[in-house]
Amino acid sequence: MGVDSLFEAHYAWKFASTDFEGNVKKISEETNLKPLVVQLLINKGFNTTEQIKSFLNPEVTELNDPFLMHDMQRAVERIQKSIISGQKIVVYGDYDADGITSTTLIYETLEQLGANIEYYIPDRFKDGYGPNKSVYKKLIEDGTKLILTVDNGVSGFDAVQYANNQNVDVIITDHHELPQKLPEAYAIIHPRYPGQRYPFGQLAGVGVAFKLACALLDEVPQEMLDLVAIGTVADLVPLVAENRALVTFGLKMLQNTQRPGLEALFKAAGLTQSMINEENIGFAIAPRLNSLGRLKTASLGVKLLTTLDEETAQTLAQEVQQLNQKRQLLVEKTTTEAISVLKGQKKHLVNVVYKKDWHEGILGIVASHLVEKTGRPSIVLSVTGENAKGSGRSVEAFQLYEALNNHRELMDTFGGHHMACGLTISLNKLDEFQNVLDQEARKQELDKIKKPSLKIAAKLSFSEIDEKLINDLKLLAPYGNGNPKPIFAFSDYKIYETKLIGKKKNHLKLSLGQKGKKIDALAFSVGTKGSCIVSDSNPLKFVGQLSQNVWRGKVKPQILISDFAYQGFPLIDMRTNKLQKTMFKRIGTYVFFSEKVYHQLQDYLPASADKIIAEGNVNDGYEATNLIFVDCPPSLDVLAAVLKKVSAAEITMIFYPYHPVYLDGMPTRKDFAKVYRFVMTHQKIDIKKKLPELANYLKLKKDLLIFMLQVFFEVGFVKMDNGLMTGYSKNQVVDLKETPSYHSRQQLIEVEDVLLASKTDELKRWVLKHMTVEN
């Protein structure tokens, strides 16, 4: 039987250097850090004790001077003029978590300074991203004299030009890619402004807004750093240098925030405030804030973050929670549909999928899911009329913005950066759009990359994992883009147990151990791969992150699996005592050992499935993709013969036990002697009528007694005449084990022991042993 591996690792594992050379030992002693952690820091570019201490313990004084940013002084003076004269200022925000926190921060800052202040967050579906001329017109008609953008603006040339013509100034604070033609705004505050670059160019929108707040207040408003942490983490900017400092300080503020809205949001998300970290923001807080702009209006987010009323906060937090749940269901449904569309297409270097009336608000998330599942950049579009609108997400190896920027003429609207984009395009241009994306991918040599790479920080022996190491690794946080949580390859352990957990049984849990020490390892959303791993965990190789599990006050180390590869034969254990129709949905070759069972179940089988009645109906060299054994064979030899004749990529074992004798075992010599004495001393017993009474008298199960009488019949100890049983003694020695019934029962008991009573690993070893494996 040919055996193929079921699945490879999703990523190409790239191992970093961990030779502990140079001054690792010296720095380890000076910093009281594990040598491994010191090496990780050296690999990040921190080569001295001073650099490492500075990285691990950022100070507020290390934040850059906001006035180093282009137009900062000019913007501050114009805002101060508006405040003094009572001019109406509108903060023009954005509908994602970065935009919501940016709007909140500047709104609170200007309110604190006594400004005549309002805010406006565009509607994703009506207004679109960035400055909208029609909205500007409405704001100006309502008396606005100064428009202050946050987390947007540099792409709004026409809207800004309109404001200028109406004698209304626009101050832009933004961090997105700068177009070739910048708006003629009163001031543009941008960390990468041409010719006057700020010392750190990777600030999020809320980071730029915070710099303006610092300049306006002439101090660092630390109470606002909670907003900065949320927006910075949510926008996936690199958590290095100034961003790392801002998030570090901001997390401390979040853990002690006095905002009723955040406290209510934490509670709705099931979070304990004191344990808020960057992961909680990324997986719980940011998605909930983002769901507002995706499904309703992001202005609810500003209301939630600014309210001082606890009852209002709780009401808004519950609305956020409900919208997030709705968003999750929409994403799941649309992702399934997008994968279906993708399967029906020719394979491309860049995925482009579109369908009528997909919800525009969740297309970016769906694109991210496609990237995860395929490893390729993905653009997901919703079709309305003759146009398609949507979002794209990329991989590290592909500059998505650069690729699309070279073909702006194809799109009606476009904006984005390296890893993400948003666009609108005519349906009749989608074929050309797909072609140019594939060309750009080849130009960037994406076709030469078989797998996305995954950096492995170090190889880690199981014995090295202890509380000190995990606590030292915590010091490297906050983790994120630019400062990824280290991923390790593990060695020197045994896998004691594997099982599937969760409501859908789609998460994998491993119990690993060495010399009495055990650690759990978890892999989430493993899908059908999980069944194969549970069947045989020995060929499993994995890499993952060290973490901690807190349960009922107890803290235990655990491993979160990032990627894994399974090199064994896929043997799926579906053994059961009760057959269900749902077990027969898979396409494959169904093997039956009993023709009776086949006829009972044939209507359940897929129309395109192959069927085999095993005895005498299996040819040498028969090939099957998935071999599904439905019932039990009469003997192990019969099963072994089938395994040698059939080649399969996968085996599913149901082994329905249709033989009732399985649970009764084999009678003892004492049992046989007891029945022998009885039949030799009784004549003409009406066995049909008296069998239950006789079994009760002999203290034997009825089925077992029938078997023993059948054995006696075969050797001539009993004879039947018109249903009446009479015993007959024989002079010669008789071996009961040589009878056909005894031999058959012995084989069935062996089948029971090996195929039904065994553990999955034991059964798999038996099956593999009886295959003819081709190397």
Q: pTM of the entire structure? A: 0.73
Residues of the chain with pLDDT under 70: 1-7, 17-22, 528, 532, 535-539, 567-568, 615-619, 621, 658-664, 772-775
Domain membership of residue 716 as a residue range: 662-738
Tell whether 213 and 312 lie within a shared domain. yes
602 occurs within a structural domain: yes
- Please name the helix (run of DSSP H) or strand (run of DSSP E) that holds residue 358, with its range, or none: none
Give the integer Cα–Cα distance in Å for 549 and 559.
9
**pLDDT of 3:** 36
Of how many residues is the chain composed? 775
Q: Kindly state the tokens that stand for 345.
A: 């297409």
Q: The domain spanning residue 180 has which CATH number?
A: 3.90.1640.30
**pLDDT of 23:** 84
- Angle (CA) 219-222-227 rounded to 5° is 120
Tell whether 296 and 360 lie within a shared domain. no
512 occurs within a structural domain: no
Which residues, in sequence order, are bridge partners of residue 560? Answer: 522, 545
Tell whether 728 and 580 lie within a shared domain. no
Tell whether 256 and 354 lie within a shared domain. no
Tell whether 178 and 215 lie within a shared domain. yes
SS3 622: strand
379 occurs within a structural domain: yes
**pLDDT of 662:** 52
495 by Cβ neighbours in 10 Å (0-12 / 13-18 / 19+) ranks as: middle
The count of other CB atoms within 10 Å of the CB of residue 552 is: 4
**pLDDT of 20:** 58
Answer yes or no: are the C-beta atoms of 416 and 402 closer than 8 Å.
no
Tell whether 204 and 217 lie within a shared domain. yes
- Angle (CA) 678-679-683 rounded to 5° is 115
Q: Give the neighbor-by-neighbor strand order of the sheet with 488-491.
A: 458-461, 488-491, 540-551, 554-566, 517-523, 507-514, 494-501
Which residues, in sequence order, are bridge partners of residue 559? Answer: 521, 546
Tell whether 145 and 174 lie within a shared domain. yes
The count of other CB atoms within 10 Å of the CB of residue 94 is: 26
587 occurs within a structural domain: yes
Tell whether 147 and 284 lie within a shared domain. yes
Give the integer Cα–Cα distance in Å for 87 and 79.
9
| 76 phi, psi to nearest 5 deg | -60, -45
The contacts of residue 393 (CB under 8 Å, 6+ apart) are 364, 367, 368, 370, 371, 377, 378, 400, 419, 420
In 3D space, the residue among 107, 121, 116 whose CA is nearest the CA of residue 143 turns out to be: 116
**pLDDT of 775:** 29
Q: Kindly state the tokens that stand for 469.
A: 């190491």
Number of compact structural domains in the chain: 5
The count of other CB atoms within 10 Å of the CB of residue 510 is: 23
745 occurs within a structural domain: no
| 310 phi, psi to nearest 5 deg | -65, -40
Q: The domain spanning residue 395 has which CATH number?
A: 3.10.310.30
Tell whether 644 and 671 lie within a shared domain. no
206 occurs within a structural domain: yes
For the stretch 177-213, what's the b/e string if a residue is b when 16 or more beta carbons lie within 10 angstroms of its beta carbon? beeeebbebbbbbbbbbeeeebebebbbbbbbbbbbb
Tell whether 56 and 191 lie within a shared domain. no
165 occurs within a structural domain: yes
Tell whether 89 and 221 lie within a shared domain. yes
**pLDDT of 293:** 93
463 occurs within a structural domain: no
Q: Which of 448, 473, 501 is the last residue of a domain?
A: 448
Tell whether 654 and 666 lie within a shared domain. no
Query: Secondary structure of 323-336 in the HEC alphabet?
Result: HHHHHHHHHHHHHH
Place of tokens 């957990």: 501
Place of tokens 């593990």: 490
